[in-house]
Amino acid sequence: MVTALKTDIELVAHLMRRAAFGLPAYRFERLAEQRYEDLVEDLLDVESKQRPEEDLLERFLSEHADEENNAMTAARWYFRMINSERVLEEKVALFWHNRFATGVAKSNVNLMMWAHMEMLRDHGMGNFRTLLQKLSRDPATIWWLDQQTNHKGAINENYGRELLELFSMGRGNYTEDDVQAAATAFTGWTLDQSIPRYPNGWWDFSFVYREDDHDHAEKTFLGRSGDLNGDDIIDEVVKNEATARFVADNLYRYFVSDEPDEAEVKVLMKVYFESDYEIKPMLRHIFNSDSFKKATYEKVRWPVDHVVNIVNTTGRHTDPYEGGLKKLAVASALMGQRLLDPPSVEGWHTGREWIDSSFLIERVNFAANMLGDTNTPGMRTIIGRISTGKTSITADELIDSCLYELGCVEISSKTKDILLEESNLPAGIQIDDGFGDKVTQMIELIVASREYQLG
Amino acid sequence: MTTASKQTRSSDPVFVVVQLSGGNDFMNTVIPYGDPFYYDFRKTVGVAEENVLSIDDQFGFHPALTPLKKIWDSGDLAIIPGIGYPVPDRSHFRSMDIWHTAEPTKIIAEGWLGRVVRELDPGKTNVCTGVSFGQGLPRAMYLMGTPAISVGQLEEYGLLTSLAGERQRKALNAFQRMYVPEEIDEASMVMNHIGQTGIDAMTGADMLAIAPERYSSTIEYGEDALSQSLKGIAQVHLADLGTRVFYAQLPGFDTHGAQIATQSRLLENLSNSVTDFFDDLKEHDAADNVVMMVFTEFGRRIRDNGNGTDHGSGGGAFLIGNRVNGGMYAEFPSLDPAEHLSGDLKFNNDFRSLYSTILDDWFGIEPAPVVNGTFEKFTGMIQPVEA
């Protein structure tokens, strides 16, 4: 693709907001030297890259040794999202965390939730059939949906129902008899507990299949009859068109737009079947599609995106010795997204439901507070880049520079006029000792805008 | 004392909801201790007869509810046992949604209290008509186009609070101008929503800021989240900002295990904070136009599981206030195994009957459009405020 450099940069910024968590210009500018398609491939190629070694968090900050604390477990995840070379893996894990919404609220075992998230990282970009097989064997999911109480002769249909209703086909595509058949096929899929390492320690859960508790009776599921087991159910589910639509529609909404697009969803369903249920080719198709490239700022930014984007701009929390990660977990919780603890198995209410008066106030206050500090590495860099080699700049230039440095933020001309008037800056702003403060003041106004809530 | 005096304060009916999330075990809240079946089914999480705070020879309160029992004794607490909806759903999420939307058969996003706020203030003249305390606006108060203020901590509630002086003033001016919604345009529905929310948030924050400033009281609330929420509600109510619907939440009732300790702690928390709240209002002569509903999404199984209780149906609710005629409304569902509904108490009161009573007798709002149907009211439960 040969386009003017500026267009390229905006597209890179967009890709980094959607396939990653958003970066300031000083961190993505150099990426514009590569072809767009190569950037996409680089993001998709997670296998050749490392996950961060966050054991240093525990070694140097004793608070991180508290593995049983929800906010600390979420804080570890924030460290990953900020620092993992496999950033798309984190973005996709967050996607599945919302779609397969499993939480810590019921079990109170954060280590189990962490293991659940590792499973979503390992398989989230892989094959959807494998993903459902792993999900059905995942201790946190089993506990969350009472699958351990699903016995031969006494079924608990919770997991069977949610697998069909919320994790794949969706309501209206199966009958109540299918739900019963699915639940019966998963009888005997349960949990085993190890003896804890320490007195009163955590009882490690693992998946176990108990043959003697499995109901081998003849079942009929979506028209297939026989002595069906859980994996047979999954086989039938993944080849169903409703499942293809579920995966396609949800990926589109997450990565492209809060508003679905039937034609694009149809194409994605085709990719799903052609690749035998692989997620990565669907992602490749999305990022390379024109509809994706055109969909800049068409989504209300998720609280987690908002927080990580802002932290990335400040350049903070890039080394494991810096304390205070927990504050990030608390911040997104106050904005309506408590990681590892979704409000229900339906996941979070996204789109415009991310904005209520309290959540909006938290978003604006967090952004202004973090980015209003001239002493973070990121803001020092940004102030330097705006001022280097100049003796003065105009107010208009200052606004444009700030928008660019924050990651090609787009605002309406009306908003820009308001910023110009309310900042009340002189026509020529001197580059002097007080200049950094003028930059952060302008940035405070920008991040308080409506436009900055979009991503 | 700068609090508005009784003569000047509005006497419009005010409604406070306290949501007990997780499914409070109502059988261990109002305990049918006189029924021998109770001790058959509650072998481990039963409350011994000598500890029950009896209200008659059949029923009594959980021992952690001593303060609430006093409200009962003064005749200001109505008990509604066996409350639920047709085809009980044991999912917390779905069940809570049903209570929030008053719609048991299909999934909708509109909350019943959102509809109430729209009825009370159709012209949207007061953004603080509905105020929720805690983390996140409950779906009950969500209704597109109807403002509802959500507050975490009242004292810290405010926009751009990390800025000071001139810098903050400039930023707030910019904020106010940037958030004014444009003419309604389909393509910018989201921007309009953000704009309206921003303006409401700012107006609400300005209005609410005076509430803690004006407030003084001898009541010392606990440090727990519900006490702080109810303190915030008392502050806003006493500041006479025109708020008619308040919401607060107490989570943690999902007692599959360790029920005895957990539920005792939570009920004590509920009991103390609610009593502090009403004592506070009475101290300011401001309790007369306030009715509180305490509800939970469902009850729990009749038979305990050896350590706790699993999800069931047939929960219970309280209505509390000076204008409430205390008493046990409706029959407690039978514990007789012949009467069980797959191991659950068979609910005998539709929750929409309670909503209809509140709507009609307290707010004077036609119930049918809000609860989407006609449901028999509980007669004599509420004594309306004189016009």
**Out of A249-253, A302-306, A328-332, least confident range:** A328-332
Token pair in block for residue A352: 């415009």
With beta carbons less than 8 A apart as the criterion, state whether A446 and A372 touch: no
- A88: enclosing H helix or E strand: helix A87-99
Confidence of residue A6 (pLDDT cuts 50, 70, 90): very low
Q: Which residue stretches of A315-434 are H helix? A: 325-334, 357-371, 377-387, 395-405, 413-423
Give the helix, strand, coil percentages of chain A, each rounded to 5.
60, 5, 35
Considering only the beta carbons, identify the residue of B148, B157, B162 that sits closest to A368: B162
Mean pLDDT in residue range B201-223: 94
Query: Taking CB atoms and an 8 Å limit, are B171 and A445 in contact across chains?
Result: yes
Query: Taking CB atoms and an 8 Å limit, are B194 and A336 in contact across chains?
Result: no
Q: Is the pLDDT of residue A3 over 50?
A: no
Chain A residue numbers touching B147 (CB-CB < 8 A)? 357
pLDDT digits (tens, 9 = 90+) for A150-191: 999 988 888 999 999 999 999 889 998 999 999 999 999 999
pLDDT at B279: 98
Query: Taking CB atoms and an 8 Å limit, are B175 and A360 in contact across chains?
Result: no
Query: Taking CB atoms and an 8 Å limit, are B189 and A422 in contact across chains?
Result: no
Confidence of residue B172 (pLDDT cuts 50, 70, 90): very high
- The 3-state DSSP class for residue B304 equals coil
Token pair in block for residue A18: 């959607």
pLDDT digits (tens, 9 = 90+) for B106-130: 877 789 999 999 999 999 999 999 9
- The 3-state DSSP class for residue B249 equals strand
Q: How far apart are CA A453 and CA A367, in angstroms?
A: 10
pLDDT digits (tens, 9 = 90+) for B191-210: 988 998 999 999 999 999 99
Give pairs for B370-373: CB < 8 Å, separation 24+. B370/B102, B370/B112, B370/B115, B370/B116, B370/B119, B371/B102, B371/B112, B372/B102, B372/B103
**Percent of chain A topping pLDDT 70:** 96
Confidence of residue A2 (pLDDT cuts 50, 70, 90): very low
Token pair in block for residue A89: 């893996």
Q: Is the pLDDT of residue B5 over 70?
A: no
Look at B230 and B299; give whichever has higher pLDDT: B230
Confidence of residue B93 (pLDDT cuts 50, 70, 90): confident
**Out of A247-251, A283-287, A336-340, A364-368, least confident range:** A336-340
Token pair in block for residue A226: 């026989």
Best of A357, A409, A414 to disrupt the B interface (most B CBs within 10 Å) is: A357
Å between A33 CA and nearest CA of chain B? 34
**Percent of chain A topping pLDDT 90:** 75
Q: How far apart are CA A198 and CA A439, in angstroms?
A: 53
pLDDT at A200: 61
Query: Taking CB atoms and an 8 Å limit, are A352 and B194 in contact across chains?
Result: yes
Identify whether A358 is part of a domain. Answer: no
Identify whether A8 is part of a domain. Answer: no
Q: How far apart are CA B74 and CA B211, in angstroms?
A: 30
Which residues, listed in sequence order, are joined to residue B78 by a DSSP beta bridge? Answer: B319, B327
CA angle at A333 for the pair A329 and A336, rounded to the nearest 5°: 145
Å between B54 CA and nearest CA of chain A? 33
> How does DSSP classify residue A107?
T
Query: Taking CB atoms and an 8 Å limit, are A418 and B174 in contact across chains?
Result: yes
Mean pLDDT in residue range B334-339: 88
Q: Is the pLDDT of residue B264 over 80?
A: yes
Considering only the beta carbons, identify the residue of A338, A353, A449 that sits closest to B178: A449
DSSP string, A133-145: HHHTT-HHHHHHT
> How does DSSP classify residue A33?
G
Identify whether A185 is part of a domain. Answer: yes
Q: Are residues A133 and A232 in the same domain?
A: yes
pLDDT at A445: 97
Confidence of residue B214 (pLDDT cuts 50, 70, 90): very high
pLDDT at A345: 77
Å between B241 CA and nearest CA of chain A? 17
Cα of B179 vs its chain's centroid, Å: 31
Average pLDDT, chain A: 92
Q: How far apart are CA A283 and CA B278, in angstroms?
A: 56
Query: Taking CB atoms and an 8 Å limit, are B200 and A357 in contact across chains?
Result: yes
Chain B: residue whose CA lies nearest to A367: B160
Q: Look up tokens 């959540």; give the residue.
A: A359
pLDDT at A156: 84
With beta carbons less than 8 A apart as the criterion, state whether A314 and A378 touch: yes
Q: Is the pLDDT of residue B182 over 80?
A: no
> How does DSSP classify residue B3?
S
pLDDT at A395: 95
pLDDT at A109: 79
pLDDT at B257: 66
Query: Taking CB atoms and an 8 Å limit, are B136 and A422 in contact across chains?
Result: no
The last residue of a domain, from among A255, A277, A294? A294
Average pLDDT, chain B: 90
**Percent of chain B topping pLDDT 70:** 95
Q: Are residues A142 and A266 in the same domain?
A: yes
Q: How far apart are CA A121 and CA A119, in angstroms?
A: 5
- Which is nearest to B205 in space by CA: B160, B139, B261, B144? B160
With beta carbons less than 8 A apart as the criterion, state whether A344 and B254 touch: no
Mean pLDDT in residue range B252-273: 88
Q: How far apart are CA B81 and CA A448, in angstroms?
A: 48
**Pairs of residues, one from chain A and one from chain B, whose beta carbons lie less than 8 Å apart:** 117
Q: How far apart are CA A210 and CA A156, in angstroms?
A: 16
Query: Taking CB atoms and an 8 Å limit, are A351 and B177 in contact across chains?
Result: no
Q: Is the pLDDT of residue A1 over 50?
A: no
ipTM of the complex model: 0.91
Confidence of residue A203 (pLDDT cuts 50, 70, 90): low
Query: Taking CB atoms and an 8 Å limit, are A365 and B194 in contact across chains?
Result: no
**Out of A343-347, B137-141, B162-166, B227-231, least confident range:** A343-347
What are the C-alpha distances in Å from B284 to residues A348, B218, B280?
Answer: 40, 10, 7
Q: Are residues A255 and A151 in the same domain?
A: yes
- Which is nearest to A95 in space by CA: A237, A279, A244? A279
Chain B residue numbers touching A361 (CB-CB < 8 A)? 157-159, 201, 205
The last residue of a domain, from among A294, A323, A350? A294
Å between A172 CA and nearest CA of chain B? 13
Query: In which domain, by residue range, is A163 found?
Result: 57-294
Q: How far apart are CA A364 and CA B342, in angstroms?
A: 50
Q: How many CA atoms lie within 13 A of B225 on its CB side?
A: 15
User: Structural domain tally of chain A?
Assistant: 2
Mean pLDDT in residue range A268-290: 98
Chain A: residue whose CA lies nearest to B203: A357
Token pair in block for residue B108: 């909708």
Q: Look up tokens 């980015």; give the residue.
A: A371
Phi, psi values for residue B152, rounded to 5°: -80, -80
Q: How far apart are CA A437 and CA A157, in angstroms?
A: 60
Å between A30 CA and nearest CA of chain B? 32
pLDDT digits (tens, 9 = 90+) for A335-346: 999 999 887 778
Q: Does domain B14-371 have CATH number 3.30.750?
A: no
Considering only the beta carbons, identify the residue of B148, B159, B194 that sits closest to A361: B159
Task: List chain B domain ranges.
Answer: 14-371
Q: Are residues A108 and A209 in the same domain?
A: yes
With beta carbons less than 8 A apart as the criterion, state whether A310 and A371 touch: yes
Q: How far apart are CA A144 and CA A341, in angstroms?
A: 11
Provide residues of B within 8 Å CB-CB of chain A: 91-93, 109, 135-137, 142, 147-152, 157-163, 167, 170-171, 173-175, 177-179, 189-191, 193-195, 197-198, 200-201, 204-205, 254
- The 3-state DSSP class for residue A5 equals helix
Query: Taking CB atoms and an 8 Å limit, are B160 and A364 in contact across chains?
Result: yes
pLDDT digits (tens, 9 = 90+) for A404-433: 999 999 999 999 999 999 998 988 999 999
Confidence of residue B258 (pLDDT cuts 50, 70, 90): confident
pLDDT at A168: 97
Considering only the beta carbons, identify the residue of B135, B163, B179 that sits closest to A333: B135
Q: Is the pLDDT of residue B275 over 60?
A: yes
- Which is nearest to A83 in space by CA: A404, A380, A321? A321
Chain B residue numbers touching A353 (CB-CB < 8 A)? 109, 142
Q: How large is the greatest C-alpha to C-alpha distance in chain B, in angstroms?
A: 73
List the helix and strand counts (H, then E) for chain B. Answer: 10, 12
Q: Are residues A385 and A289 in the same domain?
A: no
Q: Is the pLDDT of residue B186 over 60?
A: no
